[in-house]
Structure 1
Amino acid sequence: MATSLPKTEGGPAVSRSAFRRSRGDGPFRFLSVGSGVILLAIMAAIAVFLVVKAIPALQANTSHFLTELTWNPNATKPVFGIGALAFGTVVSSFLALIISTPVAVGVALFISHYAPRRLASILGYVVDLLAAVPSVVYGLWGVTFLVPFMLGPSKFLNDYLAWIPLFGGDSVVGKSMLTASLVLAIMILPIIAAISREVFLQAPKLQEEAALALGATRWEMIRMAVLPFGRPGVITAALLGLGRAMGETIAVALIFPATFTISFRILSPNGNSIAANIANGFGEATPIGRGALIASGLVLFVITLVVNTAARLIIARRKEYARAAA
């Protein structure tokens, strides 16, 4: 016996699959909008929590929070500021970004346009797997292997390139800003490489084939067709990696010398970060000390939010990515 199809008012009958899709659009839209609202509510709740917990410590602080280099919130008269911590966070993260981005782009190009299909599949799986490795593993590897290993290269840089301020200084140690930046670079490299690989694979095939048909070499084709298309995606991937590096805690807490000074000499025993200071100081902090650490976490929250917002704005400028992200 034939089953009659539902009819729209004043219109022809619609198919059963279309009717089911129309009935499912409403709940799906509700769940999608609700998920977005819940996410925004969680972020707002985190921000409110940080502000409420930080206000008592900021009121008790006897110095300027944004410029003070000393960190002693547990004293009778608390004195603390994030000047040195913010400096170490930004410098180490940008050094990691400078080191990792060219390598990540090269890895992404090799996987997407040079490696045979089977090898590219294996390498893509390895890159995705490295992105999932816990940060504590990188930190332990950095402490046990990279810190002793970096003594030789650091001494070489100090002996022959000390005329460059970055490599100057009277003392060279393994636990330095350079070592911490290298660990961060290795951590964010798989993220940048994975995102860049997916962007390069979306490059228009017709443009690639047209460039090759006109006699361009493979590198010329990549330079003319792939890199211009993927530039916004690579920038976005780099900014996402920068946000990951700024928020990293355990790996840098194990490697940073935990000093509160501002110095551009990346081979000397100088350096600290907001996240590492929170991890190292939270266990022994007084109520005012915990409030000070939460206040520094609020600053880190704002910095990472600005970085991720910048990545979103960059990706929105390219209509192809804007449609994919919508």
Structure 2
Amino acid sequence: MPSGFGRHFLCELRIAEMFKSYPALAMDRSDQASSRDRHDKRADMLFHLVVKGCALLVLIALLGAAFSMLWGGREAFATFGWKFLWSSDWDAVQRKFGALVPIYGTLVTALIAMIIAVPVSFGIALFLTEIAPVWLRTPVAAAIELLAGIPSIIYGMWGLFVFVPFMAEHVDPWLDENLGALPITGPLFQGAPIGLGMLTAGIVLGIMVIPFVASIMREVFLTVPSEIKESSYAIGSTTWEVVWDVVLPYTRSAVIGGIFLGLGRALGETMAVTFVLGNAHLLSASLLEPGNSIAATIANEFTEADSPLYLSSLIALGFLLFAVTFIVLAVARLMLMRLAKRAGENRQ
């Protein structure tokens, strides 16, 4: 047999063996791919279950907290009924409890805080994003974030030992003398100049909320593309025109959301308000008179609750605070959805 023919024959045998083993290799690779697909599907399913579990955990915790407070306050709700919401009585001796004064104090102090915090926070965010030199932005932003992290009890102690005497000596007497005699708004500024009251609590609360809202507004303003602002400056717009016509429309939804988050924090603040509000169950139109809030009432009297009805009334106040905060955040959500829908209609 010629050597060339032998080599050719051996090559054909090797090729035939390769083709015989190819289906086995293909089947092995197919099995590996299917096994990997099954493993990936199991891992993906496990990941989805973990993520859904985390989301459900938050929902369960929220509903559990609401139900536990509602269940704990059932005796107060059953005893007083709807009268519990609009009664100003709070007498632990005679076992008469009403939530009107704490609800009123909570809403008024939070409203004063937001009236102060929103414009100041807007000015701070505008200064840091549009006006301040680059070398100054980072230190000021760091200082604001530091203020946001200060415990509320520090604000309360500062308010009690520093701000309350200042209000009693300078601000309250001036307000009573100059604004107390006005026909419509006068009753808001009448009262003894003791420094403790809803106005003082609202101002201290506003100072607390300012760093929080300002940080949100600053981060939101930074999301505006620089090309849009530079185009506005290029056609001769002033800084205010750029902010009003470009920055605010672009970030309107996020700004409103940040404001309502600040309001939610103001509604639930406890220690700082407890120090400077006066903790008196008095329903008065004057902002200079002492008052009370839901959180302050719970913090001050929870350890003194010597009867099941007393304790149930305090827990019922906690449920009302939960409900008020939930309603505020729900209204904010509805407003944001309406703004987004209106923006979509305008684009069309």
**What is the TM-score when the length of structure 1 is the normalising length?**
0.86
Which residue pairs with 2:141 in the alignment? 124
Q: Alpha-carbon deviations, 1:239-276, whole Å to 9, x = none? A: 11111111111111111122222222112x23110110
Which residue pairs with 2:243 in the alignment? 222
Residues 231, 165 of structure 1: alpha-carbon distance in 2 compared, 3 angstrom cutoff = farther
Which residue pairs with 1:79 in the alignment? 96
The match for 1:35 among 51, 54, 65 is 54
State how far apart, in whole Å, the 1-side matches of 2:328 and 2:90 are: 26
How far residue 294 of structure 1 moved from its aligned partner, in angstroms, is 0.3
Which residue pairs with 1:324 in the alignment? none
The match for 2:186 among 165, 168, 171 is 165
1:293 equivalent in alignment to 2:311: no
Which residue pairs with 1:136 in the alignment? 153
The number of residue pairs the alignment matches comes to: 307
Contact 1:63 1:79 in 2 (8 A): no
What letter matches 2:177 in structure 1?
Answer: D
Q: Alpha-carbon deviations, 1:46-103, whole Å to 9, x = none? A: 111111111123334488101110112x33x521111111111101100110011100
Identical residues among aligned pairs (%): 37
Contact 2:260 2:329 in 1 (8 A): yes
The match for 1:273 among 290, 293, 299 is 293
* Unpaired runs of at least 5, structure 2: 1-25, 342-348
Contact 2:159 2:204 in 1 (8 A): yes
The match for 1:55 among 57, 60, 74 is 74
State how far apart, in whole Å, the 1-side matches of 2:104 and 2:29 are: 66
Instruction: Name the structure with the higher helix share.
Output: 2
What letter matches 2:175 in structure 1?
Answer: L
- Residues 248-287 of structure 1 correspond to what in structure 2 (within 5 A)? 248-267=269-288, 269-286=289-306, 287=308
Which residue pairs with 2:86 in the alignment? 67
Contact 1:188 1:241 in 2 (8 A): yes
Which residue pairs with 1:323 in the alignment? none
The match for 2:195 among 140, 150, 174 is 174
State how far apart, in whole Å, the 2-side matches of 1:153 and 1:144 are: 16
**Cα-Cα RMSD:** 2.8
Larger radius of gyration: 2
Contact 1:100 1:189 in 2 (8 A): yes
State how far apart, in whole Å, the 1-side matches of 2:84 and 2:53 are: 38
How far residue 225 of structure 1 moved from its aligned partner, in angstroms, is 0.6
Contact 1:157 1:167 in 2 (8 A): no
Contact 1:165 1:264 in 2 (8 A): no
**What is the TM-score when the length of structure 2 is the normalising length?**
0.81
Residues 78, 160 of structure 1: alpha-carbon distance in 2 compared, 3 angstrom cutoff = same
Which residue pairs with 2:167 in the alignment? 150
Q: Alpha-carbon deviations, 1:126-154, whole Å to 9, x = none? A: 21221111111110110011100112012
State how far apart, in whole Å, the 2-side matches of 1:119 and 1:225 are: 24
The match for 1:194 among 215, 222, 232 is 215
